[in-house]
């Protein structure tokens, strides 16, 4: 097959390309240029393009750079900023997967005549007895990335290869070292690519402050209404937050349980007040047919969080046991066993 590999400049996509070359496929590497601003860190930075090119040279395959900066700004960066203006806590990496890596990138690959695309994500695409593609957790549970792929549908999965999904991370690095790939010891990317690190004097506060007005807000106690003081920017506060508040105390920890952007009030309480019976979800997506209300699922609310058993409702999920409140705008992934069945956005 003729396969286009999304090369992020990391070890996982490097080994994905190497494995496909070893299988005898016609492989081409491509790195997406998504952001060229001050952040320029995380995945797909200038340094990552260089690393991806070095790996492709080592493997003897062509390497290309696709400039998707305009689409990235429109579909990821601008919505990220607007979500904070509304008091939501978005997940830009999932939205990048939704709109760039598994939409724009796949469309480009198809126009160029490739049979499949491949990435270095730690998840698995397998076919059920019916022949339909299924998205499963990666073999390395600690590195599993099926959560950030939970927005994919069947058509995208049919076109997708995930060569390292059956491997442990240590095995991936061993293959990279054995093949002499420059990325064999490169750390995993942890940052949002368009937010510069704090060590550069930037960060989320400055990034957003250059694009929207940030407002001070009162911090009040939920039960008593006691005024604890102020936070500098209500747009930067999220549900469950403990640090950075005037109430910060190890002896009596307080957590953010509500954020009112319009009234500029942050409400805090104890951990028990964070607990909720379920979540309301919007923008639900399904890998195949929608599950009916009453279906049993496991709900994962962060990239590496534990999945919680729940019952699917018409407008969300109800947990078997109360769980902490999740901020509006966050993605949740829905599983049946190790299989991703869909996703939703907390509303």
List the catalytic residues.
Answer: 96, 193
Give bridge partners of residue 145 from the DSSP assignment: none
Alpha carbon of residue 89 to chain centroid: 12
Cα–Cα distance, 65 to 82 (Å, whole number): 29
3-class DSSP assignment, residue 197:
coil
DSSP 74: I
Alpha helices in the chain (DSSP H): 11-22, 46-59, 69-72, 78-85, 92-96, 105-111, 154-158, 169-178, 204-209
Cα–Cα distance, 306 to 157 (Å, whole number): 24
Cα–Cα distance, 90 to 154 (Å, whole number): 24
Non-local (6+) Cβ contacts of 43 within 8 A are 8, 9, 10, 189, 193
Which helix (H) or strand (E) covers residue 341, if one does? strand 339-346
Closest CA to 154 of 179, 170, 130: 130
Which helix (H) or strand (E) covers residue 310, if one does? strand 308-313
């Amino acid at each position: 097959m003729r396969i286009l590999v999304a090369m992020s400049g990391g070890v996982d996509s490097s080994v994905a390309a190497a494995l496909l070359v070893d299988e005898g496929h016609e492989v081409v590497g491509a790195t997406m240029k998504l952001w060229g601003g001050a952040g320029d860190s995380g995945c797909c930075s200038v340094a990552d393009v260089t690393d991806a090119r070095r790996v492709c040279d080592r493997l003897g395959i062509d390497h290309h750079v696709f400039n998707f900066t305009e689409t990235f700004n429109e579909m990821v960066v601008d919505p990220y900023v607007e979500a904070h203006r509304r008091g939501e806590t978005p997940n830009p990496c999932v939205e990048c997967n939704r709109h760039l890596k598994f939409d724009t990138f796949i469309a480009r690959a198809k126009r160029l005549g490739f049979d499949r695309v491949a990435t270095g994500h730690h998840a698995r695409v397998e076919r059920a007895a019916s022949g339909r593609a299924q998205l499963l957790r990666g073999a390395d549970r600690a590195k599993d990335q099926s959560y950030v792929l939970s927005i994919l549908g069947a058509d995208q999965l049919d076109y997708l290869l995930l060569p390292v999904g059956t491997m442990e991370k240590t095995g991936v690095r061993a293959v990279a070292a054995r093949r002499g790939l420059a990325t064999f010891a490169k750390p995993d990317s942890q940052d949002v690519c368009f937010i510069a690190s704090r060590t550069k004097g930037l960060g989320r506060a400055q990034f957003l402050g250059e694009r929207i007005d940030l407002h001070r807000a009162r911090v009040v106690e939920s039960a008593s209404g006691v005024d604890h003081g102020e936070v500098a920017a209500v747009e930067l506060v999220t549900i469950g937050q403990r640090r950075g508040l005037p109430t910060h105390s190890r002896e009596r920890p307080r957590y953010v349980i509500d954020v009112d952007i319009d009234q500029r009030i942050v409400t805090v309480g104890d951990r028990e007040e964070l607990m909720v019976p379920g979540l309301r979800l919007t923008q639900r997506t399904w890998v195949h047919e929608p599950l009916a209300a009453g279906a049993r699922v496991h709900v994962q609310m962060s990239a590496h969080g534990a999945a919680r058993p729940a019952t699917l409702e018409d407008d969300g999920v109800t947990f078997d046991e109360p769980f902490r409140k999740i901020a509006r705008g966050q993605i949740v992934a829905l599983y049946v066993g190790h299989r991703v069945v869909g996703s939703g956005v907390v509303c």
